[in-house]
Amino acid sequence: MVKAELNKRSPLRIFENSIHGGVGKGNIGVLASRKGVGKTACLVHIATDKLFRDKHVIHVSFSSRVDHIVSWYEDIFKEIAKKRDLESAVEVHDEIIKNRVIMNFNQDGIETGHVLSSVKAMINEGKFPADAIIFDGYDITRARPEDMKAIKAFAEDVNLEIWASIGLRGEEPLFDEAGIPNELKSYLDVVSVLVTLRYESDYVHLKVVKDHGEMENREMDLKLDPKTLLIAEL
């Protein structure tokens, strides 16, 4: 399969369709779940899908080492290339990987404002023509309410879409009846799209909780395949 065909048939098109075409510029989309359910895999698949469409992505991470993140991308790329029998996979890989930059921070010593200014330096001074920013492993429990607001303001300022993963902790139930994670309730106004992940009967279910202006509690027609760690059709 050639790249264009692969993009057309990607399950990420279904993903986008179920959230009104995507997160949109200046907005924040959030993937939330307990640790180890597959947020990073989803984020990396979302990012890789953008790279496949010749978009530029900044991957901001807070927890892992850079080589771990790189191997996430390598694994996801390999799985996609294998599944779709991608033509000239090596060339496609080398071409798209140039459009990704990884910025790793130790959230311990660094304020959110500082992270944002570093990302801005990458865009302005580094002349990196970013189309989307991935925030991986952002610890919401350590963030202050104004931090999320600052991220939203930043997204609007640079006119980019931001996808973030947020790990949920604490006792069950993590979600209320509307499927909203308790930890995220106070941040809902700055989040445009909220998707939660839950492992149940052999695979990871994706549920849209907020879709732009509307609160929903709707299962996507997609799952995260625990074997390939790819987002796939049900």
Q: Return the number of the residue (126 or 226) whose C-beta is nearest another protein.
A: 126
Q: Does 102 bind another protein (CB under 8 A)?
A: yes
Say how many residues touch another protein, by CB under 8 A.
22
Q: Residues 39-68: x/- map of binding to another protein (CB under 8 A)?
A: --------------------------xx--
Instruction: Give the residue from 9, 20, 32, 27 showing the smallest Cα distance to 207.
Output: 32
Q: Return the number of the residue (109 or 213) whose C-beta is nearest another protein.
A: 109
Instruction: Give the residue from 86, 107, 84, 106 showing the smallest Cα distance to 95.
Output: 86
Residue with tokens 């801005």: 120
Pairs from 122-127 (Cβ < 8 Å, separation ≥ 24): 122/58, 123/58, 123/158, 126/101
User: Which region, judged by CB under 8 A, interacts with another protein, from 2-10, 109-117, 213-221, 223-231?
Assistant: 109-117
Q: Return the number of the residue (15 or 62) whose C-beta is nearest another protein.
A: 62
Residue from 128, 143, 217, 228 touching another protein (CB under 8 A): that is 128
Q: Which two tokens stand for residue 181?
A: 């994670």
Q: Does 173 bind another protein (CB under 8 A)?
A: no
Max Cα-Cα span within the chain: 48
Q: Return the number of the residue (124 or 182) whose C-beta is nearest another protein.
A: 124
**Gyration radius (Cα) of the chain, Å:** 17
What's the closest the beta carbon of residue 126 comes to another protein, in angstroms? 3
Q: Does 104 bind another protein (CB under 8 A)?
A: yes
What's the closest the beta carbon of residue 116 comes to another protein, in angstroms? 12
Strands 28-34 and 161-168: parallel
Peptide bond preceding 173 in cis form (omega within 30 of 0): yes
Q: Does 103 bind another protein (CB under 8 A)?
A: yes
Q: Return the number of the residue (129 or 173) whose C-beta is nearest another protein.
A: 129
Residue 209, sorted as left (phi over 0), alpha (psi -120 to 50) or beta, turns out to be: alpha
Q: Does 2 bind another protein (CB under 8 A)?
A: no
Is the distance from CB of 27 to CB of 194 less than 8 angstroms? Answer: no
Strands 231-233 and 28-34: unpaired
Q: Which two tokens stand for residue 115?
A: 């992270």
Q: Which residues bind another protein (CB under 8 A)?
A: 65-66, 70, 90, 98, 101-106, 109-110, 114, 118, 121-122, 124-128
